[in-house]
Amino acid sequence: MFSLFQSIKSQHDEEREARLYRELIRKEAKLGGTLFGPVPTDVRREFFRLDKNTWVWHEEWTDQQGQRRSITTRYDVRPDGVLKAQDGQPYTYIDLEEGKRLYKTVKLYRKLIGKELYNLK
């Protein structure tokens, strides 16, 4: 009987951790989206670290014809370079200039998230 309660508690703890992780990712993504300038009211813009090696930029907007559009870019950081894929297209290595822009953005992201979300100095 005791192990049943342990199992239920463990499952509850895992669900709680997953929920907290998703909530933090959402908050980080929203803050990260502001790195690219003010976000218009009808636009959703996010930039966040998905895991140790993956960065994601996502934007949704309504075009001039009233159609909802979106674009998602994933950056996979590897020892031999950074791979980029947009909207399900194959990964390709980014060039040096884009790598520099990504590096600067990641630095700004870490500073912003640390300050605004985790109260780091």
Work out the percent of the chain whose per-residue pLDDT is above 90: 73
Q: How far is it, in rounded angstroms, from Cα 102 to Cα 49?
A: 12
Interval 9-22: pLDDT, tens: 667 778 888 899 89
Domain extent listing, the chain: 2-116
Q: How far is it, in rounded angstroms, from Cα 66 to Cα 4?
A: 54
Q: Does residue 6 surpass a pLDDT of 90?
A: no
- pTM reported for the whole predicted model: 0.83
Residue 42 vs residues 2, 32, 38, 62: alpha-carbon distances, Å: 52, 17, 12, 7
Interval 41-78: pLDDT, tens: 899 999 999 999 999 999 999 999 999 999 999 999 99
